[in-house]
Amino acid sequence: MAPKNAAFVIAVDGPAASGKGTVASRLAKLYGYPMLDTGLLYRAVGMRLLNADGDLDDAIAAEAAARGLELAELEMPEVRTRQAGEAASRVAVHPGVRAALFDLQRDFALREPGSVIDGRDIGTVIAPEAPAKLFVTASPEVRADRRWKQLVGQGEAVTFDEILADIRKRDERDGGRASAPMTQAPDAVLLDTSEMTIEQAFDAARRIVETARARWGNPKG
């Protein structure tokens, strides 16, 4: 049971374009907690390599890129592109990259009074003791539709079918990884947003967190 003075970490995991980023940022705003989108870390590592003509499959080069990462790089618009998403999922398979990014994420998770962290392995690897864990998901078609609209809105020329293929490939790569398989933590609450509006998803997430917070504040209750 979490000691009373520990940080109230809200771990929001789930696959690409499941709505977890939107849910996480709304929760962070609601509670006034800092938020870390860990996908941006992997995206920035991927872009570092690509910008240096590096090989995404080269584990040593990828780890070096991760170790040299500066937080300002997360702000660059290029990390939000489709190319960065693809590069991220390729560098994320290297255990050295995950190890290099661990401390930064772990330090963020220990911040008091609390934080919101979104990713794939927050509830399982980065902050397994997090008192509030959500696993946000949606069908591949719904996720592809959301990601496609987002990318078109950013000015990228892509088709829905291309994005659906990306999502399926990404799920396969993210789910089949031994170092950090994208699995729901046993104590995470599943939130399927396929049939939900943003408002409904946020409302459901808020209720899950409120239940976890009440339990955290009253461990014996």
Question: Residues with Cβ < 8 Å from 129, sequence gap 6 or more?
Answer: 2, 6, 9
Q: At closest approach, how far in Å is the CB of 120 from ligand C5P? A: 4
CB 217 to ligand C5P: min, Å: 27
CA dist 192 and 25 (Å) reads 17
Q: Which residues contact 165 (CB under 8 A, 6 or more apart)?
A: none
Helix (H, G, I), strand (E, B) or coil at 109: helix
Rounded CA-CA distance 177/95 in Å is 10
Q: From the CB of 186, what's the least distance to ligand C5P, in Å?
A: 18
Separation between Cα atoms, residue 181 and residue 161, nearest integer Å: 26
CB of 166 to ligand C5P, least distance (A): 10
Q: Which two tokens stand for residue 140?
A: 């591949």
What residue ranges bind ligand C5P (CB under 6 A)? 16, 38-39, 42-43, 85, 88-89, 92, 119-121, 170, 174
